[in-house]
Chain A
Amino acid sequence: MFRFGLRLTLRSGKEAFARLLLTMIAVSIGTAILFAALADFHAFQAANNRPAWEKTGQAADDQMFTSRASLPTTQGKLLWNYNNDIFKGKTIERLGVAAISTSAPVLPGISRLPAAGEYYASPALTTLLHRTPYNMLGARFPGKQVGVIGKEALTSPDELVIFIGYNLAELRALPTTIGVNTIASAHQTNVWTGYFRYAYIFGTLALLFPILLLINTATRLAAARREERFAALRLVGATPHQLNVIASVDAFVSALFGVLLGAGIFQFIQSSLAKASITGGHYFASDVTPTLLGYGVTILLVPIASAIAALISLRRVRISPLGVSRKTTPPAPKAWRTIPLLAGIGLFALGIAMTTHQTIAAPVYVGLILILIGFSIGGPWMTMTSARVLSKLVPSASSLLAARRLANDPKTAFRAVSGLVLAAFLGTTLAALLPSINSTTATPSATALQNVLLVSLTPGVLCGNEVNCTGANRPTTTTDGEFGLTPQTGATLLNGLRNFPDITTIPLYANPKAIDAAQHMEGGAPTPGQQMPGDSIIRCSDLQKVSVLGTCPVGAKAVVAAPDFMSDNPSYSTQAIASPASEAASDNVTGLYLSTLLIKVSNPNTLEEVRTFLATHTSTSLSGTAPRTFGEAVAVRLSISVTIQRIFNGAVALTLFIAGCSLAVTVGGSMVERKRPFSLLRLSGVPTSVLYRVVLYEAVMPLLGAAVAAASIGYGIALITVEKIGAAGTRVPTLGHNYFIVMGFGLIASLIVILMTLPLLGRITKPDEVRFE
């Protein structure tokens, strides 16, 4: 019976072959997307499971020496100085190392530690160094390149990493240097990794559902025609069990061919997929592949699931030797189906009303879950109702034909787009929420400061004309005070900056009163109620250069300000650092420590030259972060939400495409099933364009209707959320152009797939080829 089933599948004429082909193509598209999702998830996991050498010194079992005074010369194995640099918005991971003993551990990705005056760079940084003028980037890194860092130390081929060798004295002098005995080998546990993982898992699940529906729809393609064949087999004595075997073989073989074709398509798109940037960086191409287990399970499970789907669909019909009859005519969905959705929206709104800035009320979660379930339950009723409305609004023959078809079996029509509904709902909610949340940190002031470099001048050394900072001559001790650069070194730095064209430098000096207060304060912290003097002095002539920083009192030449730039949170910059009420101060800054610099640079190349100048003329800050503009600080913070948004946008676009494929398969199947009435209609003089419109209505209406309904509810959810819990001044959620591009791309791709089925309709209903029984 297996062989007979196989023969029937493969050699049963043109129509059976067309069905096999269509099923195969649909399954292959679904499987290729599934493989792509699995491959990307695998690459994401591989990147995050790589030993995180960056975390050295943070784990409890790392032996380290952080006190500057106790930094080892003979004990410990390695001096370690890790910090971040920035080049044109991209972070460069910069590690300085100096071996204390011969048993010092070697970093992953290189064969030996760099000696003093040598460095290893990642492939991307190597390329960047070759392409970029030396005074913009190369000058930041002392020494010469002796090798390229291997992928074992990298999470992405785009990663900019440099391992620089120093001598012990030189590295010991730099702030943030620690001594370590071991290099961390645990997995990367970035605070956002878990969120990305959830986003990935959710995105994959959001895709999996419509993919399985697509495969299921494809397997049941043109079920009515196949069932007629089964009835003929029953007539000649085939048992129901034998029909089950034939149906299973038919579905299994079609799906198996589809899966194998899907694997082939995936191989074809794999290199393009590796070039796609989903979590902000690219993955190594060799990692962008499903695991062997993923391949095996998919290749095995999809055909088995298809066979099961075919058997389930057979249970719904009674195949007798005299023909085929449906066991039950599906009743029209009732309005009660919308109750879970409406209840979910109500509960969500109630939950939001109960939510405070501290806690999210439980009904919010219950409401969200009910909304997601409610879409699935209420979808068929909404499909049926909108079909009826369409037939009333558009009183044409084609709308009548399409609306009746949809109203007759709304469950099938909705099933094809149900995955899309969930993705469009969640995608829209996020697309509306995230920019509103982000707007609370990216304030207008921060925007005004976006090309202003913030330089925190913590204790360090000033190099330049007076002091040779390179190699072994680099000074090993600091003469600068705790509150910034000494007046002399500060003045030298400012003189150096004057050589750059088109930059505006605003120096902030440490307030001597604040220094006194801090030095006399017991325990280093103010007592309750104690008023601390503002910690900075800024000249009014400098303040005027960037208006958002505020204004001086009338007649004042300098003011005491209390900027909180160190937190690097632009939300603080919503408040001006000086006002007419500020305490006036002397503008004689001679003898004051230079604590902070704000440098406005409009030209991106000049910005990098300034940054390189600062890197080579001051030591790194205590935070281990290189000077960066407010714009770069905001971009780093937003990159997380941008990545999450990108994952969901990808899921929305793909589910739209898959929904289009499912609809195309459903429509293709329905065309084959309605071949006779459609042919006879065409033969009776119905123009092909009318039939095309029927098919388009049947396919496009559920697609657009579902997308618009889900997106509208998603937007509404975002709106009431922002209204209730958004900070004052949070703007009304708007959907960015990326969202519309993604939705537009998904819809256009879906429409193209649907339009591709129209020639089939034209061909199968061609009067010249009509045969009559």
Chain B
Amino acid sequence: MSGNDYILQANNVKKTFGQTPALQGADLTIRRGEMVAIMGPSGSGKSTLLHCLAGIFAPDSGEVWFDGKRLDTLSETARTELRRTAFGFVFQFGQLVPELTAADNIALPLLLDKVQRKEAYKRAASWLERLGLEGLGNRRSGEISGGQAQRVALARALVIQPKVLFADEPTGALDSLTGEKVMDLMVDIAREEGTTVVLVTHDARIASYAERAVTVRDGKVATNTKQVAGAIK
């Protein structure tokens, strides 16, 4: 496999918060279009690894590569630009701006990218439809259910057609049935769009949606990385 097949790569990444080491030499490579689940117990460093891969944190040492370019040496401004244009994010909860409607929230990244307002809302409407949220465009986050809010967040993450979708416990605040619906949608759309997905979860059932799962333990990616045979989809 050539180097160009890897969209993300972490080499011997170390990160410490104060006296607490979070990552102690983590290595991980992710192929283009792949869906990878990062698992591990609480405090193992899985979210920190995701944040280093997404350019949110600059590692203390080691290298992070994205699409053939060093990510960890980029300036904060360049990393911000990259996160806005090439990455999408879904978190556990609280990511929607409460004052904005669902349509506003989805259109927001496009408006930030200077897309014309009419075009931005047209694309937001199509994503609402795609995620089964027709008729909810004018509702605020406090007026929709948790599952619906996560679908809006997913639409917001995907509306810019990111190369990588980072999802940190995306179903952590949902019941299992709703969580599964959200995961079904995420997997379907990622496959349709060819988006690489990096999913952090401690739930084996959610991890089973991924093609590959890696486990982080004590700040390192455990060597017994396994291929998820027969992912749910």
Contacts and interface: CB of A to CB of B under 8 A. Distances in A.
Nearest to A407: B99
Interface in A440-476: none
B84 A684 contact: yes
Contacts of A770: 56
A401 B168 CA distance: 25
Interface in B93-120: 93-101, 104, 108-109, 111-112, 116-117
B127 interface: no
A401 B100 CA distance: 7
B99 A405 contact: yes
B114 to A, nearest CB: 8
Interface residues of A, number: 26
B83 A680 contact: no
B97 A401 contact: yes
Contacts of B6: none
A423 B19 CA distance: 55
B111 to A, nearest CB: 4
Given A677-B98, A680-B91, A404 B104 contact: yes
A407 B97 CA distance: 14
Contacts of A401: 97, 99-100, 108
Interface in A636-687: 674, 676-677, 680-687
A396 B111 contact: yes
A151 B133 CA distance: 79
Contacts of B88: 684
Contacts of B5: none
B92 interface: yes
Interface string A679-721: 0111111110010000000000000000000000000000000
A677 B94 contact: yes
B131 interface: no
B85 interface: yes
Given A395-B111, A677-B97, A772-B91, A400 B84 contact: no
A395 B115 CA distance: 10
A395 B121 CA distance: 12
A748 interface: no
A767 B92 contact: no
A396 B57 CA distance: 28
A522 interface: no
Contacts of A188: none
B209 interface: no
Contact of B97 (A681, A768, A773): A681
A677 B95 contact: yes
B158 to A, nearest CB: 12
B47 interface: yes
Contacts of A687: 77, 80, 84
Nearest to A768: B57
Contacts of A396: 111
B83 A684 contact: yes
Contacts of B108: 397, 400-401, 681
A571 interface: no
Contact of A686 (B84, B87, B116): B84
Interface in B144-199: 157, 168-169
A408 interface: yes
A408 B99 contact: yes
B136 to A, nearest CB: 16
Contacts of B157: 684
Nearest to A684: B89
Nearest to A676: B94
A773 B92 contact: yes
Nearest to A675: B94
A772 B82 CA distance: 21
Contact of B83 (A405, A685, A772, A773): A685
Nearest to A670: B99
B94 A404 contact: no
A536 to B, nearest CB: 77
B97 A767 contact: no
A276 B88 CA distance: 58
Contacts of A397: 108, 111-112
A404 B97 CA distance: 10
B81 interface: yes
A685 B94 contact: no
Interface in B19-56: 47, 51, 56
Nearest to A396: B111
A685 B84 contact: yes
A685 B100 contact: no
A684 B109 contact: yes
A728 B44 CA distance: 86
A400 B95 contact: no
Nearest to A326: B142
A326 to B, nearest CB: 9
Given A683-B83, A686-B84, A400 B89 contact: no
Contacts of B89: 680, 683-684
Given A685-B82, A770-B56, A772-B47, A400 B92 contact: no
A685 B95 CA distance: 13
A676 B84 CA distance: 17
A413 B58 CA distance: 38
Interface of A: 395-397, 400-401, 404-405, 407-408, 674, 676-677, 680-687, 690, 767-768, 770, 772-773
24 contacts: A395-B116, A397-B112, A400-B100, A400-B108, A401-B108, A404-B104, A405-B99, A408-B140, A676-B95, A681-B97, A682-B80, A684-B87, A685-B80, A685-B82, A685-B83, A685-B109, A685-B112, A687-B77, A687-B84, A690-B112, A768-B57, A772-B91, A772-B168, A773-B93
Given A400-B108, A677-B95, 7 more contacts: A397-B111, A404-B99, A674-B97, A677-B96, A680-B94, A685-B112, A767-B51
Q: Which 3 A-B pairs have the closest CB atoms?
A: A685-B84, A685-B83, A397-B111
